[in-house]
Structure 1
Amino acid sequence: MKAILPVALISALCSSVALAHDAGDIFVRAGFATVMPNESSDEVGTSGELELDNDTQIGLTLTYMVTDQFGVEVLAATPFTHSVSLGGSEVAEVSHLPPSVMAQYYFGQADSKVRPYVGAGLNYTIFFDEEGKGDLATYDISLDNSFGLAAQVGVDVNVADNWFANASLWYMDISTDVHVTGMDAIKTDIDPLTFMASVGYTF
């Protein structure tokens, strides 16, 4: 009986509530976004390539449905901060904001309970608060801002009138030159995957 009750509750909820993403709708999603860099860089001396750790921040998206199937979405977030390592030791810390704009296609009907979607667009990543650590603590460090392509897959699941749950996965093409005092620029591809789990509200 304990195993059956959750299934019955979900079935009842899904049977009584439909998701509405109609032409002209505006909806927001807010939740947690984790940036997971898939980095590669020029070799730095004999120490290897630069490595960046993951970071989780608050993510926010705003979507306008142009038609029942097509939407335009803007992504914003609180600043992500990554520790940068070289040869296993931390050498820098850097923050960034990755605002993105997506054109989206939603599968299914406007009143479907579940709406999977895909998106493609552009990303502009702004780097700031670069700070040397460890062996580079006394060096000036800066990263060039990046402009590149972005893509996403996601799904919305209705949970109540105007409310829905969301999960989405983003890919961003982020390439930058890392400048360190007295050294040649270090060409670095960050190219992260970003997973976002959120709740949304339709206006």
Structure 2
Amino acid sequence: MQSIRILSLALVPALALAAPAFAQSGDGDSASGKRIAVVGGIAHLEPSSDAADGLQVDGGPAPTLSVSWYATDNFAVELWGAADTFDHRVRADGLGKIGTVQQQPVALSAQWHFGQADSVFRPFVGLGYHESNFSHEDIAGLDGHAGLETAKGAIGTVGMDFNITPTWFARTDVRYLHSRPELRVAGSGTGQELDLDPWTVGVGLGARF
């Protein structure tokens, strides 16, 4: 997938900037015991192929930011979200593009990081709760302004941290958001939910303190 290749290439400059920090780390320095981690990155969000009968919502990229608190070297609580909106194109069968919508999710998850804090490769899994706010809905062909309720549901995460130094690390992750917002027209609910259920694929650069 082209978007995944673009995300991977986006991580290269970040790794180049972080590499000099490796030589500066002290002999006794360790990632163990550091309780706060901050990660900045970019993610591509891709909704399910059919949001409704004959209706598709395309994916898009956005910058992301997360802050984690480590209760232990293995257990963490992460606050993750999009630093800007994901922009989506809405398409209908036989009509092509009929509109656009913007989405901005935020999530709180509990995570388990496997292995030792100083291991080069540290896989992790997470489970939590997210809310996604939708804005700037512009969809043609409806009698009245179309809007989407805030989506709420579970979020699952699988990822890998690559330790560069005891402070710096690179991250790649995949997230699934259970997201089925109700479609509203002219301020009233329609009872129709859009099965968005998006996946995100992200890369980032993090620091722990």
Residue in structure 1 matched with residue 65 of structure 2 by the alignment: 60
**What is the one-letter code of the residue matched to 1:127?**
F
TM-score (norm 1): 0.81
Q: Deviations over 1:4-56 (max 9, x none)?
A: xxxxxxxxx9x99899553451011111110011143443xxxx2x2011110
Contact 2:182 2:190 in 1 (8 A): no
For 1:140 and 1:170, the matched residues in 2 are separated by 31
The range that moved more, 188-197 or 156-165, is 156-165
1:186 aligns with 2:196: no
The yes-or-no answer on 1:28 pairing with 2:38 is yes
- Summarize the Cα distance change of 1:35–1:95 in structure 2 as closer, same or farther, 3 Å threshold: same
Could you tell me how far 1:184 is from its partner in structure 2? 4.2
Query: Structure 2 matches for 1:75-154, cutoff 5 A?
Result: 75-77=80-82, 78-87=84-93, 88-133=95-140, 135-136=141-142, 139-154=144-159
- Residue identity matched to 1:165: A
Distance, in Å, in 1 between the alignment partners of 2:204 and 2:125 is 16
Post-superposition shift, 1:85? 0.7
Contact 2:114 2:124 in 1 (8 A): yes
Q: Give CA-to-partner distance per residue, 1:129-188, whole Å, 9 cap, x none.
A: 11124x45x741100111100001111111234111110000000001122359944321
Instruction: Call closer, same or farther: CA 1:21–1:38 in 2, change over 3 Å.
Output: farther
Identity of aligned residues (%): 29
Aligned to 1:160: 165
Q: Which residue of 2 aligns with 1:202?
A: 208
Over aligned residues, Cα RMSD in angstroms? 2.6
Distance 1:192 1:126, change over 3 A: same
Deviation string, structure 1 residues 74-93 (Cα, Å, up to 9, x no partner): 11211111011111511121
Stretches (4+) displaced over 2 A:
15-24, 39-43, 179-186
Give the match's secondary structure for 1:110.
Answer: coil
Aligned-partner Cα distance in 2 for 1:90–1:185: 23
How much has 1:189 moved relative to structure 2? 1.0
Query: 1:39–1:192: 8 Å Cα contact kept in structure 2?
Result: no
The 3-state SS of whatever aligns with 1:160 is coil
Query: Cα 1:197–1:142, aligned 2, differ >3 Å: closer, same or farther?
Result: same
Mark the structure with the bigger radius of gyration: 1
